Amino acid sequence: MPEAVLVDIVRSPMGKGKPGGSLSPLHPVELLAQVLSALVSRNDFDPALVDDVLVGCVGQVGEQSGTPGRHAWLSAGLPISVPSTTIERRCGSGQQAIDFAVQGIAAGAYDIAIAAGIESMSHVPMGTNRKGSDPAGPGVAARFPGLASQGIAAELVAQKFGLSREAMDILSVESHQRATRATETGVFDSQIVPILRPDGTVVDKDETIRPQSTLESLAKLKPAFATDQTRSEYPHLDWRVTAGNSSQITDGAGAALLMNAETAGKLGLRPRARFVAAAVAGDDPVLMLTGPIPATHKALARAVMKIDEIDHVELNEAFASVPLAWQTEFDIDPAKLNANGGAIALGHPLGASGLRLMSSLIGSLEHTGGRYGLQTMCEAGGMANTTIVERI
């Protein structure tokens, strides 16, 4: 079976996903085009050899509706012979793009593939594709009458696992502090590609990090999902989730160059990591955000590994309750989890988050000399992806 390796991975800076955000002047296709162009230009190979471009994207409407990977590839001036497809597994879309690319290489369907992700939440706000409709339908509602939004699910997870507001705020402050240190020490420099805006200015730093965040400032924030209606529907909740201990709405893009290891050797390209195992799993759709726990168990079992063999973990901080709940199941040094900050500090550009996490994971392994890394993220509907890599 061909071995899939990661040759390179890049991402854009993370911009606030609202009008006026650093990346908001860019059409989402143009944002992804610049990232793809940077990935190709810094690796010496013929881009016409790419078999497919697999792109994670959640909000596939409006400016993100027309196979954004194909349009971005063409906008970047790259060969018209290369096709693209779009993948949607909610927040795990970008990670699923990576996993599908790996599976395609292992199956012999691809020699070279690019896995990417894009989400411009300033252009396509979260929930735009629903248009006020009910995407679940009556059968799901009858089977799971407690089904609610992810914000409510985050509250339910905090209650189930006994996670205090203070514990979640502590994790959030630490996320910003770690991301600040990583920025100041240049850890992100090899991951981030500068993005040129239409006005000629360049964005080369993450806009979302708040170095000034403190426990005192977070303690002043009101619960984000406590309304008169939700308080009535969930009288047993004490409302711990705030904007400060949740991921940020963000614009961002990322892309990874994956190959058959033999092909990389023939092209004279040095791989940075190989893929050990991957898994997807489902869990309680009402709690919704606990999927990383069974998905991690499943991937570790496939890799025949234990959690203490993992040197770094990237777990998407959709809400602070997610990594804290995961930690109750897996005994790992907290310093190994989101070592350079997570989505609370760096943002969560939905379809692109899988690429942002993988770039952070590879960067952490290379920065510390670690060998094995694990990436996992929760997804709407109670699903999760987990991927294990080995640094080469």
What percentage of the chain has pLDDT greater than the value 70? 100
pLDDT at position 345? 98
- Looking at the predicted structure, is the pLDDT value of residue 318 above 90? yes
91-131 per-position pLDDT tens digit: 999 999 999 999 999 999 999 999 999 999 999 999 888 87
- Exposure string for 29-60, b = 16+ CB within 10 A, e = fewer: bbbbbbbbbbbbeebebebeebbbbbbbbbbb
Q: Is the dihedral of CA 66, 69, 75, 81 positive or negative?
A: negative
pLDDT at position 367? 95
CA 294 – CA 279 distance, rounded (Å): 9
38-67 per-position pLDDT tens digit: 999 999 999 999 999 999 999 999 999 999
Residues carrying an active site annotation:
91, 348, 378
344-385 per-position pLDDT tens digit: 999 999 999 999 999 999 999 999 999 999 999 999 999 999
Mean pLDDT, rounded, for 314-341:
98
pLDDT at position 28? 98
Rg (CA), the chain: 20
Averaged pLDDT score across all residues of the chain: 97
pLDDT at position 129? 84
Mean pLDDT, rounded, for 263-278:
98
pLDDT at position 130? 83
Domain ranges of the chain: 4-123+248-267
pTM above 0.95, yes or no: yes
Q: What is the CATH number of domain 4-123+248-267?
A: 3.40.47.10
Mean pLDDT, rounded, for 152-162:
98
- pLDDT band for position 34 (cuts 50, 70, 90): very high
Mean pLDDT, rounded, for 279-295:
98
Q: How far apart are the first and last CA of the chain?
A: 19
pLDDT at position 132? 81
Higher pLDDT residue, 227 or 1? 227
